[in-house]
């Protein structure tokens, strides 16, 4: 709670500012007054009981600053109550993680005095976000001054303002001191140590920390494969037959990898107190719209959109659109193969250095086109899923992930499958895989890190210059910080980061047996990825609200599906290898039957393994059972007490 700027800014705001609210600069005064009153009002009266102050930027010669920027803070007492509302888990005296209650606050570890420093910044900001999000309309029929901004009892005020563009954005402020410390331990020193996951979680929340945990785990898991891959690559490079052993290794690896991750993830989430945390009741998305009706669950008035209409939109528009895109992707693939043959023909006619370089050109062009198509499709998918008008954010996310995954999978891997199983040309497969992988990694790093970094630098310089021009030597760190961060890009969540890892996992688990260097490339990519992602989180993007997460969610399923496909693919690759074929000189039939039989056994084994290995390590299971037992016992005792009292 000790923000580095609270002392020198005592003239600007009398409390520690945690969250910035930016309203449109033409917002009507009565709406602002109403909103601020609702935010400041007591909880009993349905307010959020938070502290809020306006920030006035000095006028500038070239452009008028937005006058409607506010900072929100809170009293300690309110934050502690809020922690109970959102169901925060904190470390108890006995080392277990328990749901925080204000009544038992003294029994929690690290709770000293009035509780100063008990909640981390990110937690405070999360609580404030929750309180703002659940600030509900009472009897107002519309937002004051905006007759068209209809309200109904129970509607989240902030979401309505946001969906209509009155509230431009709200975001948590960075804490410069903490950020400095975090970025030093994270990426500034050259070190062989692991990432400071606990610090990341402390500053950015569990969702992001789990992503970095997964990134780290994935990279480490690839190291054995990379180590095996290098000698393979060096000594058997031209011996295409010898990939059987490597395929078997891939098979086992891709299965064990995910099973072990589930346990690691559970361990992390338990330590962070999100494993047994109950999901809050989900609010409708900000963009959800429909005729006013009654929610069958809460009985409250809220927009209702018939699910049959949504189904129609999904099946009559979205599905055909996705299929069309897939067709397009296949068409582009065929064009690529035409280019490939054309290049090979030129090379065969006149084999010299220039034409041998030409051999790689089609693959590189294709890789770039794939990335562009993925990017375009991503926007289209987001637009379509939004248009499907899902009521809940989780349902929106699931539909978006499904759309994007299917297309990305086909777009990235179709050509490889075609080369491997239709053309059965392992040389071309290797070359194609290498080009795809390297090109897409380079593109990704540029798009993801360097480009935003460069843009941000330019912007920073401009803002700094402007501020200096205005104030001379006087420093107003809060005003400067807010103005800087307001203009930073918004981090859109871990979606794209996981997607990239998903595709890399695909390249490695599906086809790395024919190109053993793939694992090495992915390891190298991920090491720089850690640094560039860390840097972009700390300096390129606005600080995101922390997001409690108990696992990597739908991505676990996506990776598991990929690992099943990997089993099938690797078995098929083994069946195709000349080495194995040599054992069945007479009949292909027998070979195929045996490969299919082995594949079935492996798949069955995989399912049994997933079933037998507990997803949560034993000692955490015991701790969770203990918590449950304790709460049951407490309930029983209370009942007996109540019974004897009456």
| Contact set for a copy of itself, span 314-333 (CB under 8 A) | none
Alpha carbon separation from 548 to 8, 502, 564 (Å, rounded)? 33, 22, 29
Bridge partners of residue 51, in order along the sequence: 73
Residue 386 interacts with a copy of itself (CB under 8 A)? no
Bridge partners of residue 169, in order along the sequence: 22
Contact residue for a copy of itself among 592, 601, 609, 634 (CB under 8 A):
592
Residue with tokens 């005592």: 10
| Nearer CB in complex with a copy of itself: 463/568 | 568
Compute the least distance from the CB of residue 297 to a copy of itself, in Å. Answer: 4
On whether the CB atoms of residues 18 and 73 are closer than 8 A, the answer is yes
Bridge partners of residue 108, in order along the sequence: 92
Contact residue for a copy of itself among 10, 625, 634, 638 (CB under 8 A):
625
| Nearer CB in complex with a copy of itself: 230/640 | 640
Integer Rg of the chain from CA: 28
Residue 643 interacts with a copy of itself (CB under 8 A)? yes
- The distance of Cα 132 from the centroid of its chain, to the nearest Å, equals 23
Rounded-to-integer distance, Cα 95 and Cα 92, Å: 5
Total residues at interface with a copy of itself (CB under 8 A): 26
Contact residue for a copy of itself among 11, 139, 589, 645 (CB under 8 A):
589
Contact residue for a copy of itself among 191, 461, 469, 626 (CB under 8 A):
626
Site string for a copy of itself, 61-100 (x = CB under 8 A): --------------------x--x----------------
Beta carbons within 10 angstroms of residue 457's beta carbon: 12
Range in contact with a copy of itself (rule: CB under 8 A) among 62-70, 296-304, 485-493, 539-547? 296-304
Among 134, 211, 318, CA closest to 533: 211
Helix, strand, or coil (residue 136): strand
Compute the least distance from the CB of residue 215 to a copy of itself, in Å. Answer: 27
| Helix residue ranges, H only, 41-89 | 76-85
| Nearer CB in complex with a copy of itself: 260/597 | 597
Compute the least distance from the CB of residue 275 to a copy of itself, in Å. Answer: 16
On whether the CB atoms of residues 482 and 22 are closer than 8 A, the answer is no
On whether the CB atoms of residues 302 and 154 are closer than 8 A, the answer is yes
Dihedral through CA 404, CA 406, CA 409, CA 411, nearest 10? Answer: -80
| Contact set for a copy of itself, span 237-266 (CB under 8 A) | none
| Nearer CB in complex with a copy of itself: 527/625 | 625
Question: What are 119's two structure tokens?
Answer: 């909640």
| Nearer CB in complex with a copy of itself: 368/410 | 410
| Nearer CB in complex with a copy of itself: 116/628 | 628
Backbone angles phi, psi at 390, to 5 degrees: -75, 145
Beta strands 19-23 and 167-172 are: antiparallel
Compute the least distance from the CB of residue 380 to a copy of itself, in Å. Answer: 23
Among 590, 608, 595, CA closest to 567: 595
On whether the CB atoms of residues 129 and 85 are closer than 8 A, the answer is no
Rounded-to-integer distance, Cα 111 and Cα 106, Å: 6
Compute the least distance from the CB of residue 142 to a copy of itself, in Å. Answer: 26
| Contact set for a copy of itself, span 605-624 (CB under 8 A) | 622
Range in contact with a copy of itself (rule: CB under 8 A) among 31-39, 154-162, 241-249, 591-599? 591-599
Residue 644 interacts with a copy of itself (CB under 8 A)? yes
Beta carbons within 10 angstroms of residue 297's beta carbon: 7
Contact residue for a copy of itself among 43, 350, 356, 490 (CB under 8 A):
43
Range in contact with a copy of itself (rule: CB under 8 A) among 171-179, 351-359, 515-523, 592-600? 592-600
Question: What are 383's two structure tokens?
Answer: 């637009």
- Three-state secondary structure of 403-420: HHHHHHHHHHHHHHHHHH
On whether the CB atoms of residues 401 and 554 are closer than 8 A, the answer is yes
Question: What are 591's two structure tokens?
Answer: 């070979």
Contact residue for a copy of itself among 59, 492, 632, 634 (CB under 8 A):
632
Compute the least distance from the CB of residue 635 to a copy of itself, in Å. Answer: 10
Backbone angles phi, psi at 113, to 5 degrees: 60, -125
Residue 169 interacts with a copy of itself (CB under 8 A)? no
| Nearer CB in complex with a copy of itself: 462/639 | 639
Bridge partners of residue 349, in order along the sequence: none
Contact residue for a copy of itself among 194, 297, 353, 582 (CB under 8 A):
297
Residue 629 interacts with a copy of itself (CB under 8 A)? yes
Range in contact with a copy of itself (rule: CB under 8 A) among 144-152, 317-325, 351-359, 585-593? 585-593
Compute the least distance from the CB of residue 401 to a copy of itself, in Å. Answer: 14
Compute the least distance from the CB of residue 513 to a copy of itself, in Å. Answer: 20
48 DSSP assignment: -
| Nearer CB in complex with a copy of itself: 518/567 | 567
Backbone angles phi, psi at 194, to 5 degrees: -80, 170
- Interface ranges with a copy of itself (CB under 8 A): 43-44, 81, 84, 281, 296-299, 568, 588-589, 592-593, 596, 600, 622, 625-626, 628-629, 632, 639-640, 643-644
């Amino acid at each position: 709670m000790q923000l580095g700027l609270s002392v020198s800014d005592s003239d600007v705001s009398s409390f520690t500012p945690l969250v910035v609210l930016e309203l449109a600069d033409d917002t009507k005064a009565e709406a602002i007054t109403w909103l601020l009153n609702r935010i400041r009002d007591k909880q009993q009266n349905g307010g959020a009981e938070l502290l809020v102050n306006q920030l006035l930027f000095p006028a500038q010669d070239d452009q008028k600053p937005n006058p409607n920027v506010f900072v929100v803070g809170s009293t300690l007492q309110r934050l502690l109550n809020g922690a109970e509302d959102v169901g925060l888990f904190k470390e108890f005296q006995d080392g277990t993680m328990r749901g925080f209650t204000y009544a038992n606050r003294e029994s929690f570890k690290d709770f000293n005095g009035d509780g100063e420093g008990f909640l981390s910044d990110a937690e405070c900001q999360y609580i404030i976000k929750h309180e703002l999000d659940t600030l509900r309309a009472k009897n107002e029929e519309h937002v004051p001054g905006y007759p068209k901004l209809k309200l109904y009892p129970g509607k989240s005020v902030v979401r309505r303002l946001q969906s209509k563009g009155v509230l431009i954005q709200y975001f948590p402020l960075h804490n410069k001191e903490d950020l400095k410390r975090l970025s030093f331990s994270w990426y500034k020193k050259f070190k062989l140590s692991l990432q400071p996951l606990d610090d990341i979680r402390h500053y950015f929340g569990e969702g992001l920390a789990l992503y970095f945990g997964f990134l780290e785990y994935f990279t480490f898991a690839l190291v054995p494969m990379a180590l095996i891959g290098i000698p393979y690559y060096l000594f058997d490079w031209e011996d295409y037959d010898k990939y059987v052993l490597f395929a078997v290794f891939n098979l086992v690896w891709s299965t064990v990898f995910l099973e072990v991750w589930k346990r690691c993830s559970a361990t992390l989430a338990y330590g962070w107190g999100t494993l047994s945390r109950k999901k809050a009741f989900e609010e409708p998305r900000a963009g959800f719209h429909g005729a006013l009706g009654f929610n069958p669950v809460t009985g409250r008035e809220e927009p209702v959109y018939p699910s049959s209409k949504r189904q129609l939109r999904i099946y009559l528009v979205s599905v055909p659109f996705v299929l069309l895109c897939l067709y397009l992707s296949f068409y582009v693939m065929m064009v690529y193969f035409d280019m490939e043959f054309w290049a090979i023909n030129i090379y065969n006619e006149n084999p010299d250095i220039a034409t041998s370089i030409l051999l790689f050109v089609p693959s590189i062009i294709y890789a770039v086109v794939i990335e562009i198509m993925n990017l375009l499709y991503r926007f289209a998918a987001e637009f379509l899923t939004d248009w499907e008008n899902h009521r809940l954010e989780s349902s929106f996310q699931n539909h978006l992930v499904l759309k994007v995954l299917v297309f990305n999978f086909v777009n990235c891997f179709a050509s490889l499958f075609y080369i491997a199983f239709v053309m059965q040309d392992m040389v071309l497969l290797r070359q194609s895989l290498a080009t795809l992988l390297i090109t897409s990694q380079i593109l990704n790093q540029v798009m993801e890190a360097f480009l935003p970094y460069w843009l941000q630098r330019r912007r920073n310089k401009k803002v700094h210059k402007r501020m200096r021009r205005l104030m001379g030597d006087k420093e107003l760190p809060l005003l400067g910080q807010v103005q800087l961060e307001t203009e930073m890009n918004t981090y859109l969540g871990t979606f794209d980061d996981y997607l990239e890892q998903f595709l890399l996992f695909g390249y490695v688990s599906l086809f790395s047996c024919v190109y053993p260097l793939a694992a090495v490339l992915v390891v190298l990519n991920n090491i720089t990825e850690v640094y560039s992602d860390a840097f972009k989180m700390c300096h390129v993007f606005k600080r995101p609200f922390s997001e409690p997460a108990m696992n990597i969610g739908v991505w676990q399923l996506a990776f598991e599906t990929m690992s099943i496909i990997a089993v099938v693919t690797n078995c098929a690759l083994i069946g195709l290898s000349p080495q194995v074929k040599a054992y069945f000189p007479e009949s292909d039939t027998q070979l195929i039957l045996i490969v299919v039989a082995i594949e079935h056994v492996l798949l069955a084994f995989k399912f049994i393994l997933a079933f037998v290995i507990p997803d949560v390590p034993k000692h955490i299971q015991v701790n969770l059972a203990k918590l449950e037992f304790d709460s049951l016992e407490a309930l029983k005792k209370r009942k007996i007490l109540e019974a004897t009292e009456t």
